[in-house]
Structure 1
């Protein structure tokens, strides 16, 4: 069975303006985020479990909406995530508390209404203590955990330590162990960490990954936050994707690096009763198109598409080469990573 992870769903104002334009083009009011993600849908839908990283809290359907530094994004994006093929979203990021406890509750209520499972923040101590375990169509039970390094100076309200998961390695290991005891065959850990806009893995990331993957209770780490692609590598026979970049975003300064991302896909094989290993690791480089419309692009698929213009294809090849270099900078292909 396959698990797919992806970069930050980072809803800047330009993205909801594009969604409004896409709705108007169809003669409808409101927001349609579907075209933004449509290019990635075939890869996402093909996975047995697809996990998104929802970077921003969600506002009420009619707004008001807000961008950086304290996000409050249109919840209409969730319909597009469901249509794209996502099963769950992580909600632990440095922006989790941008709108306080009310924003956490509003976001999780919206995810519930959309039918997307979630982990990383909670509305109660009981919810925080209950591990998220999803069962695939083949009967494999996969637990998901999500933690963030901090909350941009926003304090967790007194008496609500369960509201958002802050990174603490012993606490993560304890949560992973509880998930295995609750019947999880595989534990997937999402980590919001690292240095923004840096392709280099920090010493803290490397040390935390080593400690976490040394545990028999953690089977895979999916990283986010840096907004650029960072390396993948194997540690203790298991994979860490240090940062998958952004899946969708429109930064004020849209550098090529912040437009690059990766869908990462892992095939797990049962090698003993309820003992699974990632027997195959793949990365699909992605690209955030800024013109004529904002669109997320599956680079290998776009390069192979005969309708892609020659000049555009050359730019895609250059982005693919850069992303490949970042992913492989710690020897991931030597460890078996397939890119493209």
Structure 2
């Protein structure tokens, strides 16, 4: 059995969560609360903050004053949901206050390459970059028009090491991308793989984590294209591949590359937070893994994972450790069925690993 040790001495611990998908209900809840989007994230925040670096997929723009179609309309200060500028499916746009809320909850890197990246056109991508930069966060997978030659990846320094994160998307839902602001996983596959190879060969990068947005929605098994591209990314030099988009969990595979490096592929982390309510859609994980020196440089150890659940209470909607949630055992069981029992973390495990008490009080 492959070890699932995390928070090991000398390791750099990375955490990852899936889609941050703020449907209308969640935007309405945020708009009704004094701390806005922070209300939805506060129960998960202590666990996001445990890792040295935590990443999330920002599923859609956070573009100030941008309408569907890419036009502009000023929204009064303090209004974070109006149903037009800030609205839900099919053309998402979130009030930019979501970005500092994610930062304050413990997110360190945002993936912006996904099928909703162009929901508010080129201006939406630009304004999203502005919001992320204003919050002091890095992002990966999209470019602003003001920086057309900017790298698709970002590099984070943690524990004395430099970790590159590189995101791509399978699609922009047919929305035009005239300025090539989104890196495409398949259309730009040659560029994707060459970038991984270059980062892997760079003396200033110690590990490469690839973040593809791919696969078939609501399907718990990866398709042939996911499997092929994941293996190609690993062979090109990725330490791990961590996917999003299907809105449900998909399995994790241990990988040994042809040059002997150890790593893993997590095909989909599902929804971190959304208002999709079937058990597979509301159940996800905070994925933790250690980066430790190996024969091929820093290698990603097999991950462990804390099950999470999105729950609607009278007071609002929250994402929280499933163990804290009403009916949360259903989500714990689902996670174990899809990802495997051996990697499941309880709150007691987290407390033991971190040496501090963890509150199990329900919302």
- With normalisation by structure 2, the TM-score equals 0.80
- 1:45 is aligned to 49
Give the alignment of 1:113-262 within 5 angstroms.
Answer: 113-124=134-145, 126-129=148-151, 131-136=153-158, 138-157=159-178, 160-161=179-180, 163-168=181-186, 169-182=189-202, 183-215=204-236, 217-236=237-256, 237-251=262-276, 254-262=277-285
Deviations 1:124-153 (A, max 9, x none): 4554336411111x2110001000001101
Shift of 1:327: 1.2
- Asked if 1:317 is matched to 2:342, the reply is no
- 1:307 is aligned to none
Structure-2 change in CA distance of 1:290 and 1:338 (3 Å): closer
Normalized per residue, the structure richer in helix is 1
Deviations 1:165-203 (A, max 9, x none): 111332211111222344110101101011101111112
Give the alignment of 1:290-329 within 5 angstroms.
Answer: 290-292=312-314, 293-300=316-323, 302=324, 312=326, 315-328=327-340
**SS where residue 87 of structure 2 aligns?**
coil
Aligned Cα root-mean-square deviation (Å): 1.8
Which stretch has the larger CA shift, 90-99 or 14-23? 14-23
Within 1, Cα distance between the matches of 2:200 and 2:263?
17
Within 2, Cα distance between the matches of 1:129 and 1:218?
17
**SS where residue 303 of structure 2 aligns?**
strand
- Asked if 1:20 is matched to 2:31, the reply is yes
From 306, 324, 332, the equivalent of 1:284 is 306
Contact 1:57/1:72, CA 8 A, preserved across alignment: yes
Within 2, Cα distance between the matches of 1:324 and 1:238?
20
Within 1, Cα distance between the matches of 2:307 and 2:24?
24
Could you tell me which runs of 5 or more consecutive residues in structure 2 were left unpaired when the two chains were aligned: 1-11, 66-74, 76-81, 257-261, 347-363
Structure-2 change in CA distance of 1:127 and 1:4 (3 Å): farther
Shift of 1:99: 0.8
- 1:275 is aligned to 297
Could you tell me which runs of 5 or more consecutive residues in structure 1 were left unpaired when the two chains were aligned: 24-30, 304-311
Shift of 1:238: 1.1
Contact 1:133/1:141, CA 8 A, preserved across alignment: yes
**SS where residue 25 of structure 2 aligns?**
helix
Shift of 1:284: 1.2
- 1:28 is aligned to none
- With normalisation by structure 1, the TM-score equals 0.86
Within 2, Cα distance between the matches of 1:152 and 1:105?
18
Which stretch has the larger CA shift, 51-60 or 105-114? 51-60
Within 2, Cα distance between the matches of 1:205 and 1:247?
20
Structure-2 change in CA distance of 1:264 and 1:203 (3 Å): same
**SS where residue 269 of structure 2 aligns?**
coil
**SS where residue 33 of structure 2 aligns?**
helix
Which stretch has the larger CA shift, 58-67 or 105-114? 58-67
